[in-house]
Chain A
Amino acid sequence: MILGEEDYITEEGEFVVNMGPQHPSTHGVLRLKVWLDGETIKKVEPHLGYIHRSIEKMSESLSYRQYGYLTSRMDYLSAHINNLACALVVEKALQVEVPARAQAIRIIIGELTRIGSHLLWFASAGLDLGGVTPFFYAFREREAINSIMDENCGARLTQNFMVPGGIVYDVRPDFQSRVKEVLKQFKDNFHEYNEILTGNVIFQNRLKDVGILTKEDAIAFGCTGPTARASGLSCDIRKMYPYDGYEKLQFDEVISTGCDSWARYEVRMAEMLQSVRIIEQLIDNIPEGDIVAKTKNVIKLPKGEFYQRVETARGELGVYIVSDGGASPYRCKYRSPNFANLSAIPHIARGYKIGDLIAIMATIDLIIPDIDR
């Protein structure tokens, strides 16, 4: 928390402090202006733009093969799923059939990304609320997932594995055995997470009945992903509008009606196990065949508007493209999950103590570059 000229006391005696832009628990450079009466939060005002990199504007000058790679830097924890959304919208416009092998590999890598993202959330949620050890537990498995990305995609974090019509490279011959190894390690160690954090009474008391987001509010603010599912709202895009082969898979949409921070915690923990279930269905049944459908070297979309949504680790990501028939988008707009989820924070944080704001931020799990883009 940097105290500066903009911190002041209002006429009603409310103390105004700025949380951020440099603050360890905002996970980036979000700035929250907080009006406090003693320790009680009266009002929260998020200030954006500290990491606005004009990705949408840049997309207008890039080709349809290139523009998706910038989205790896948006929600960098679900980089692969963001790339998928960009590839899917082009495939939808060109009506390209993606080979079954590419679809299976995309889903496996995507679900591994989701597990990795939730693991990082688990680590940082523990860290924000004062527990350092969960950080080391979660990163042990995240590191294993990252090494699979490294071996097959060539990058640990920003995979850039996607191309309209399929994937860039085929996976290595030991892909299946490596993924199974990591899944086994994850499943064997999952009980440790529950022992160290889920069963911890102090941690539970910090989260239970804190940050109530009702179902109506979740709909009104446009919340999606685990944040909304913890309020009892069914909104999994993989179930509602299946894409890229998700319709063939068996998995449960995790919904909780707790509405508080604890429910959001539980939903994410359960989602990791569902992702494991998805990968296990696919890993032994990766079809043989091509990895990429044939497309023209210079992709030109027909004139019109195209929209595609996917479920990232944080909610619904929508890619909206206006094409004038050229080789790059006329206008590109991302509907990012974090922006909508952030808009709920001022509403749900009101009336709680300032320490609870950290718990709310930790369980809503914001990625700031995805908000600003």
Chain B
Amino acid sequence: MGLKDKLEFPGQIHETPDGGFVLTKLDDIINWARSNSVWPLAFGTSCCAIEMMHTVNAKYDWSRFGFEVMRATPRQADLIIVSGTIVMKMAPVLKRLYDQMPEPKYVIAMGACTISGGPFFYNTYSVVKGIDHIIPVDVYVPGCPPRPEALLHSMITLQEKIKNDAYYRKQVDKK
């Protein structure tokens, strides 16, 4: 699936003499809107946060994909990019931030530390060996730190995941 297909409107436009109408599925159009305006939480613990800042800036510019609204509070965020090592003392805080985010919510594990502990895997007493011990993760990005291109790719991958989600149908099924 190319980038153009992803951004294209998911539906058919039928033109009629008195205006026209759109034919689409509710899930498709909700996911299309949702995936193109993901608001990340401004959350950075260490080195990867700097590469995240580089992804924000003009050269890489993640606002091209609809990510530019960084929120300082978890209550307004859809996505948490865990950029940097999580240690035992920080783990409850991360869990709490995740719990405070409204559904549907997504997690990107950025960098080796968040995947497995990375350089701090052996001989350390304080590092959590992968954040998936604490919260569920949607996309993993390896690297120490990952390049901004890698982070962008992970976000596009997340968008694909959101597009294939059946969020509305699940809500109907529950009722």
Q: Which residues of A are in contact with B by a Cβ distance under 8 Å?
A: 2, 21-24, 28-29, 49-54, 57-58, 61, 69-70, 72-73, 76-77, 120, 123, 135-136, 139-140, 142-143, 146, 156-158, 368-369
Q: In the bound complex, do residue B50 and residue A52 qualify as a contact, i.e. CB atoms below 8 Å apart? A: no
Q: Considering the chains assembled together, what is the distance between the CA atoms of A139 and B120 in angstroms?
A: 29
Q: Considering the chains assembled together, what is the distance between the CA atoms of A72 and B46 in angstroms?
A: 11
Q: Closest approach, in angstroms, between the C-beta of B111 and any C-beta of chain A? A: 10
Q: Closest approach, in angstroms, between the C-beta of A119 and any C-beta of chain B? A: 11
Q: Which residues of B are in contact with A by a Cβ distance under 8 Å?
A: 42-47, 49-51, 53-54, 56-59, 72, 74, 84-85, 87, 89-90, 93, 96-97, 119-120, 122-127, 144-145, 147
Q: Considering the chains assembled together, what is the distance between the CA atoms of A54 and B96 in angstroms?
A: 24
Q: Considering the chains assembled together, what is the distance between the CA atoms of A57 and B127 in angstroms?
A: 12
The residue that B89 contacts in the complex, of A2, A23, A52, with Cβ under 8 A, is A52
Q: Considering the chains assembled together, what is the distance between the CA atoms of A24 and B40 in angstroms?
A: 13
Q: Considering the chains assembled together, what is the distance between the CA atoms of A252 and B47 in angstroms?
A: 31
Q: In the bound complex, do residue A76 and residue B47 qualify as a contact, i.e. CB atoms below 8 Å apart? A: yes
Q: In the bound complex, do residue A139 and residue B54 qualify as a contact, i.e. CB atoms below 8 Å apart? A: yes
Q: In the bound complex, do residue A136 and residue B72 qualify as a contact, i.e. CB atoms below 8 Å apart? A: no
Q: In the bound complex, do residue B147 and residue A54 qualify as a contact, i.e. CB atoms below 8 Å apart? A: no
Q: Closest approach, in angstroms, between the C-beta of B73 and any C-beta of chain A? A: 9
Q: Closest approach, in angstroms, between the C-beta of B55 and any C-beta of chain A? A: 10
Q: In the bound complex, do residue B89 and residue A49 qualify as a contact, i.e. CB atoms below 8 Å apart? A: yes
Q: In the bound complex, do residue B72 and residue A24 qualify as a contact, i.e. CB atoms below 8 Å apart? A: yes
Q: Closest approach, in angstroms, between the C-beta of B114 and any C-beta of chain A? A: 13
Q: In the bound complex, do residue B90 and residue A140 qualify as a contact, i.e. CB atoms below 8 Å apart? A: no
Neighbouring B residues of A2 by C-beta, 8 Å: 93, 96-97
Q: Considering the chains assembled together, what is the distance between the CA atoms of A146 and B54 in angstroms?
A: 10
Q: Considering the chains assembled together, what is the distance between the CA atoms of A157 and B50 in angstroms?
A: 8
Q: List 23 A-B contacts (CB under 8 A).
A: A22-B74, A28-B45, A28-B84, A29-B90, A50-B93, A51-B85, A52-B89, A53-B126, A53-B127, A54-B125, A58-B122, A61-B122, A69-B119, A76-B50, A135-B57, A136-B58, A139-B57, A142-B54, A143-B57, A157-B47, A157-B51, A158-B144, A369-B45
Given contacts A51-B85, A77-B50, A369-B46, contact A158 B125 (CB under 8 A): no
Considering the complex, give the chain A residue whose CB is closest to the CB of B97: A22
Neighbouring A residues of B72 by C-beta, 8 Å: 23-24
**A2-B96, A140-B59, A156-B51 are known contacts; what are 6 more A-B pairs with Cβ within 8 Å?**
A22-B93, A28-B45, A28-B49, A52-B87, A54-B126, A123-B53
Neighbouring A residues of B45 by C-beta, 8 Å: 28-29, 50-51, 368-369
Neighbouring A residues of B44 by C-beta, 8 Å: 28
Neighbouring A residues of B147 by C-beta, 8 Å: 156
The residue that A57 contacts in the complex, of B47, B96, B125, B144, with Cβ under 8 A, is B125
Q: In the bound complex, do residue A28 and residue B124 qualify as a contact, i.e. CB atoms below 8 Å apart? A: no
Given contacts A22-B93, A29-B90, contact A54 B42 (CB under 8 A): no
Neighbouring B residues of A29 by C-beta, 8 Å: 45, 90, 93
Given contacts A22-B43, A139-B53, contact A50 B124 (CB under 8 A): no
The residue that A158 contacts in the complex, of B84, B93, B123, B145, with Cβ under 8 A, is B145
Neighbouring B residues of A72 by C-beta, 8 Å: 47
Neighbouring A residues of B125 by C-beta, 8 Å: 54, 57
Considering the complex, give the chain B residue whose CB is closest to the CB of A73: B47
The residue that A143 contacts in the complex, of B59, B84, B96, with Cβ under 8 A, is B59
Neighbouring A residues of B49 by C-beta, 8 Å: 28
